[in-house]
A and B are shown apart, each in its own frame.
Chain A
Amino acid sequence: GESVGLHLPTLSVQEGDNSIINCAYSNSASDYFIWYKQESGKGPQFIIDIRSNMDKRQGQRVTVLLNKTVKHLSLQIAATQPGDSAVYFCAENGSGGYQKVTFGTGTKLQVIP
Chain B
Amino acid sequence: NAGVMQNPRHLVRRRGQEARLRCSPMKGHSHVYWYRQLPEEGLKFMVYLQKENIIDESGMPKERFSAEFPKEGPSILRIQQVVRGDSAAYFCASSHGRSSNTGELFFGEGSRLTVL
Contact = CB atoms under 8 A, between A and B. Distances in A.
B3 to A, nearest CB: 9
B41 interface: yes
A101 B42 contact: no
Interface residues of B, number: 27
A112 B108 CA distance: 28
B46 to A, nearest CB: 11
A32 B103 contact: yes
Given A98-B48, A103-B42, A43 B91 contact: yes
Contacts of B101: 31-32, 93, 97-99
Interface of A: 2, 31-34, 41-46, 49, 51, 89, 91-93, 96-106
B115 interface: no
B107 A43 contact: yes
Interface string B18-46: 00000000000001010100000111110
Contact of A100 (B43, B45, B104): B45
A100 B41 contact: no
